[in-house]
Amino acid sequence: MTTSEARTRLETEELQERLREIQALLAGKGTGLRATLDALHPADIAYLLEALPPEERLAVWDLVKADRDGEILVEVSEAVRESLIASMDSRELVAAAETLEADELADIAGDLPPAVIEEVVRSLSAEEREQLRAALSYAEGSVGALMDFEHVTVRDDVTLEAVTRYLRRLDELPGHTDQLFVVDRYQVLKGTLPLARLIVTDLDIDVARVTVREGLRLKPEDAASEAASAFERYDLVSAPVVDGDGRLIGRLTVNAVVDHIRARSAETQLAEGGLTKEEDVFAPVLDSFKNRWAWLAVNLVTAFIASRVIGAFEDSIVHLVALAALMPIVAGIGGNSGNQTITMIVRALALGQIQTHYWRKLLAKELGVAALNGVVWGVMLGVIAYVLYGNVALGGVLALAMLLNLELAALMGVAIPWVRWKLDRDPAVGSSVLITACTDSGGFFIFLGLATLLLI
């Protein structure tokens, strides 16, 4: 990343300005565009590419200096990366990929044509090839998939003076080097030597005496989300990754952790909004359709089931048409309340706050909250229904149905994440769709069923 070091860092506002400049230059076929781009950090070019619609995006991409292509491809989102790669030929792709470190290459390997990867692999050293193989072998969401290989190691039987001399022979330290890793001759990790400690300590002391031995050690198969919460708890900048024998194989840095946190939060947000994956804002209509149809289809099935539940009570509705107007209220409040329960539980599970034997306690609490809600809102709506339709029994049935559907929402709001957690599945995905399906069909059934029993 040396090429980017000398470029000014911009705040978002300044970046937005730069974007407007570039658009003006694009529109006027100005000659200053290439110079403007050259002055930008690769991450900023990535940002601008994301913000431009397809034609302008490719026009800018053509002007970016070829030696920065690789870095920028690593920075952009997958949706935009695909559109950029589609515009490049094999020779350009190979040239771009060859500028990357093994762990960066692993990040974009999935989007590159196999022939390009083959050619790049041939150009790697044996060590780099092994690193690439390792990086590709770990599952998405594991520490191994996020780690890099750019650590500096020292032995513990030398003085800090010797370490300092050794470091001074390096041109620069890898990014995010806040500590050196102390290893023995078999690469077994003995601890870490923070730069801040190296700097404040007398140089004639041995490394062994200032080595920190209590630091976090990760294994490549550990879940990235657990490593991320350890980084948060302990305010870490980097942590070593060791294999089963305690040998150092790589390190995890805070920037990879931040990217992971963002990506995970985006996934949750997208799944809750009913999108399969991140979508390029300016994607063609057909691409958007593909990204959205799956959740719409699921929703269609659940809506159809709810519709059949209503269909079973058509006679009652003909008899008392107010039921048709009131039934969406019962279903709607149930869905809202169930979503509240499930959101809180999914968050608590993600933060590791729920233990096996607390589920019962949790269910009792949620049923209690639902009872309170049911009485408060049920009575209020029952009164409103009485005022509107002049029918006391109808008001009573509405209030009772509301209470029962809120209890159902609480029960399912605890049960759905509990089952997914028991099965070791992500409790967040689709939770909102599932609970809404229960409270819709359940709400219609409870309200119309009670009405049929008591009013018709």
Q: Which of 136/261 has CB closer to a copy of itself? A: 261
Select 125 or 355, whichever has its Cβ closest to a copy of itself: 355
Helices (H), 76-182: 78-86, 90-98, 102-108, 114-122, 126-137, 143-146, 160-169
What CA–CA distance (Å, rounded) separates 1 from 74?
Answer: 12
Task: Candidates 88-96, 121-129, 134-142, 234-242: pick the segment binding a copy of itself (CB under 8 A).
Answer: 234-242
- 81 vs 111: CA distance, rounded Å: 8
Minimum CB separation from a copy of itself for residue 123, in Å?
26
Contact 154, 166 (CB under 8 A): yes
Interface mask toward a copy of itself for 25-44; x: CB under 8 A: ----------------x-xx
**Hey, which residues between 176 and 195 contact a copy of itself (CB under 8 A)?**
176-178, 195
Q: How far is the CB of 129 from a copy of itself (least distance, A)?
A: 26
Alpha carbons 181 and 148: distance in angstroms, whole number:
14
Residue with tokens 């594991």: 142
Residue 122 or 357: which CB sits closer to a copy of itself?
A: 357
Smallest gap from Cβ 133 to a copy of itself, in A, equals 25
Cβ distance to a copy of itself smaller for residue 94 or 374: 374
Q: Tell me whether residue 83 or residue 337 sits nearer to a copy of itself (CB atom).
A: 337
Q: Which of 125, 185, 244, 352 binds a copy of itself (CB under 8 A)?
A: 352
Among the listed residues 222, 400, 421, 449, the single contact to a copy of itself using CB under 8 A: 222
Q: Could you give the CA distance from residue 331 to residue 342 in angstroms, rounded to a whole number?
A: 16
> Min. distance of Cβ 401 from a copy of itself in angstroms?
13
Least gap, CB of 28 to a copy of itself (angstroms):
16
Contact (CB, 8 A) for 144 and 137? yes
Buried b (16+ CB within 10 A) or exposed e, 152-161: bebebeebbe
Q: How many whole angstroms separate alpha carbon 60 and alpha carbon 48?
A: 9
Q: Which is nearer to a copy of itself, 116 or 327 (CB)?
A: 327
Region of residue 297 (left: phi > 0; alpha: psi -120 to 50; beta: else):
alpha
* Interface with a copy of itself (CB under 8 A), residue from 136, 255, 415, 418: 255
Contacts of 372 by beta carbon, 8 Å cutoff, 6+ apart? none
Q: Which is nearer to a copy of itself, 113 or 358 (CB)?
A: 358
> Could you say which residues in the range 396-425 bind a copy of itself, by CB under 8 A?
none
Site for a copy of itself in 48-77 (CB under 8 A): 50-51, 53, 75
* Using rule CB under 8 A, residue 79 touches a copy of itself: no
What is the contact mask toward a copy of itself in residues 283 to 322, using x (rule: CB under 8 A)? x-xx-xx--xx-xx--xx-xxx-xxx-xx--x--xx--xx
Nearest 5 degrees, angle CA 284-CA 288-CA 293?
Answer: 145
Q: How many CB atoms lie within 10 A of CB 268?
A: 17
Burial 408-424 (b: 16+ CB within 10 A, else e): bbbbbbbbbbbebbeee
Are 115 and 142 within 8 A, CB to CB?
no
**Residue 387 engages a copy of itself in binding (rule: CB under 8 A):** no
Nearest residue (CB) to a copy of itself, 11 versus 245: 11
Torsion, Cα 364 370 373 376, to 10 degrees, reads -80
In the range 136-175, which residues lie near a copy of itself by CB under 8 A? 164, 167-168, 170-173, 175
Q: Could you say whether residue 231 binds a copy of itself (CB under 8 A)?
A: yes
**Residue 318 or 454 having the CB closest to a copy of itself:** 318
CB of 156 to a copy of itself, least distance (A): 18
Q: Pick the binder of a copy of itself from 162, 254, 400, 429 (CB under 8 A).
A: 254
Burial of 314 (0-12, 13-18, 19+ CB in 10 A): exposed
* Contact range with a copy of itself by CB under 8 A, out of 57-65, 121-129, 265-273, 414-422: 265-273
Query: What 3-state class would DSSP assign to 258?
Result: helix
Site residues (CB under 8 A) for a copy of itself, limited to 432-451: 432, 440, 444
Residue 354 sits in the site that holds a copy of itself (CB under 8 A) = yes
In the block, tokens 């979503």 appear at: 339
Output the CA angle 182-184-186, nearest 5 degrees: 130
Instruction: Select from 63-71, 88-96, 114-122, 199-207 the region that touches a copy of itself (CB under 8 A).
Output: 199-207
